[in-house]
Amino acid sequence: LGIPSVPLKLADRRVSRKLQVGKVAVGGDAPVSVQSMTTTRTSDIGATLQQIAELTASGCEIVRVACPTQDDADALPVIAKKSQIPVIADIHFQPKYVYAAIDAGCAAVRVNPGNIKKFDDQVKQIAQAASAAGTPIRIGVNAGSLDKRLLEKYGKATPEALVESALWECSLFEEHGFRDIKISVKHNDPVVMVNAYRQLAAQCDYPLHLGVTEAGPAFQGTIKSAVAFGALLSEGIGDTIRVSLSAPPAEECKVGIQILESLGLRQRRLEIVSCPSCGRAQVDVYKLADEVSAGLDGMEVPLRVAVMGCVVNGPGEAREADLGVASGNGKGQIFVKGEVIKTVPESKIVETLIDEAMKIAEQMEKDGVLS
């Protein structure tokens, strides 16, 4: 009512260096990207490419593949070439695979300084090879494989220990003029992890890859990641994210994308606003919300659909959404852009909402909203 609306936003993004992971920019003003990791044997090229295709379809922007054996290293050139999204090789223990991944044309290489033996002696050669090929390196520190020296110094994987490990490795690369680096300092405890990233963010300008490591099964891992990423991203910290779940990797991407959408860091696509139901509900809200979600699954349009159980908050929420229903007395009032367009019997609510959603999506396409 006469009060100018100010767009709400989170803290300004931390200023970080920008680097290219293949076609995807990470850091600087680049959008926060979502990545995941394949679960196939990398040496099984067909299965790995199939999973990468599924990940790409689920919105994954960067994919990491494990490289524990020579057979896996041998598969990298084909995978890097045929993947639709940039491929990062994940290297532990054997520096020789770092060179293989660079030669294979991988978009980046992740190294874990805690468990590559004599890694520090090889930094010069790795920096030279990566620099010549234009391949960035992620220094991926993990609480479970922290450098022994730091474990002894700090007693356990504290935020300080994780940060010291990462920055020590960076300093070795910097000695050879190599700064095409991004960093992760993962821990399975979101509180330790958040503190580690905060400290890291304050001490360097490298882009940061956020992750809660070994976050657990889907439900627990989703909550841990959402809480930790939410805290950091709302402070402007984080340039690329990986949700780790004991679940198929496409699920990780869906969660990652949803976290970014929830924070307004990427355009929201379909959003279902549904009430929790209560003793006033006059329809089965859970069933209705599930059926509407299933019917609109895969829709890419930025559409807000309200599914409300009664007239207490129903009309208000339905009016605020692009499309909505307020239910009561065995009927549903259907709202489009704030106006009641019709009232339908309960049995027709789902199909009517889906129909109207399709019409709005078509109109958006015509209006170029989606381009």
Looking at the Cβ atoms of 140 and 314, the one nearer to ligand SF4 is 314
Q: Are 322 and 311 in contact (CB under 8 A)?
A: no
Residue 253 among known ligand-binding residues:
no
Q: Is 256 in the site for ligand SF4 (CB under 6 A)?
A: no
C-alpha–C-alpha distance, residues 45 and 170, integer Å: 32
Q: Is 277 in the site for ligand SF4 (CB under 6 A)?
A: yes
Looking at the Cβ atoms of 52 and 325, the one nearer to ligand SF4 is 325
Per CB under 6 A, which region of 21-29, 82-90, 134-142, 310-318 contacts ligand SF4? 310-318
Least separation in angstroms between residue 136's CB and ligand SF4 is 49
Work out which of 80, 127, 281, 336 binds ligand SF4, going by CB under 6 A.
Answer: 281
Question: Token pair of 112, please?
Answer: 């874990």
Residue 204 among known ligand-binding residues:
no
Please compute Rg for the chain using Cα positions.
24
Instruction: Please count the other Cβ atoms lying within 10 Å of the Cβ belonging to residue 144.
Output: 13
Looking at the Cβ atoms of 45 and 312, the one nearer to ligand SF4 is 312
Looking at the Cβ atoms of 25 and 311, the one nearer to ligand SF4 is 311
Looking at the Cβ atoms of 288 and 357, the one nearer to ligand SF4 is 288
Half-sphere exposure of residue 97: CA atoms within 13 angstroms, side-chain side: 26
Instruction: Please count the other Cβ atoms lying within 10 Å of the Cβ belonging to residue 121.
Output: 10
Least separation in angstroms between residue 337's CB and ligand SF4 is 20
Residue 271's identity, in one-letter code, is E
Least separation in angstroms between residue 277's CB and ligand SF4 is 5
Q: Is 275 in the site for ligand SF4 (CB under 6 A)?
A: yes
Q: Is 289 in the site for ligand SF4 (CB under 6 A)?
A: no
Work out which of 280, 287, 337, 359 binds ligand SF4, going by CB under 6 A.
Answer: 280
Max Cα distance, the chain (Å): 75
Site residues for ligand SF4, 313-352, by CB under 6 A, read 313-314
Per CB under 6 A, which region of 37-45, 182-190, 220-228, 303-311 contacts ligand SF4? 303-311
Closest CA to 242 of 95, 61, 111, 369: 61
Tokens 């089965």 sit at which residue?
A: 284
Query: Phi then psi for 67, rounded to 5 degrees?
Result: -140, 70
Q: Is 273 in the site for ligand SF4 (CB under 6 A)?
A: no
Work out which of 100, 212, 308, 357 binds ligand SF4, going by CB under 6 A.
Answer: 308
Q: What DSSP state is assigned to residue 120?
A: H
Least separation in angstroms between residue 348's CB and ligand SF4 is 20
Site residues for ligand SF4, 163-192, by CB under 6 A, read none
Looking at the Cβ atoms of 243 and 321, the one nearer to ligand SF4 is 321
Contacts 24+ apart (CB under 8 A), 357-364: 357/296, 357/299, 357/301, 357/303, 357/305, 357/323, 360/301, 360/303, 360/322, 360/323, 360/336, 361/299, 361/301, 361/303, 364/301, 364/302
Q: Are 322 and 336 in contact (CB under 8 A)?
A: yes
Least separation in angstroms between residue 318's CB and ligand SF4 is 10
Q: Are 21 and 62 in contact (CB under 8 A)?
A: yes
Q: Are 18 and 29 in contact (CB under 8 A)?
A: yes
Per CB under 6 A, which region of 176-184, 225-233, 270-278, 297-305 contacts ligand SF4? 270-278
CA distances (Å), 163 to each of 140, 147, 198, in order? 11, 11, 10
Least separation in angstroms between residue 223's CB and ligand SF4 is 22
Residue 320 among known ligand-binding residues:
no
Residues at the annotated binding site for [4Fe-4S] cluster? 275, 278, 310, 317
Binding stretches for ligand SF4 (CB under 6 A): 275-278, 280-281, 308-310, 312-314
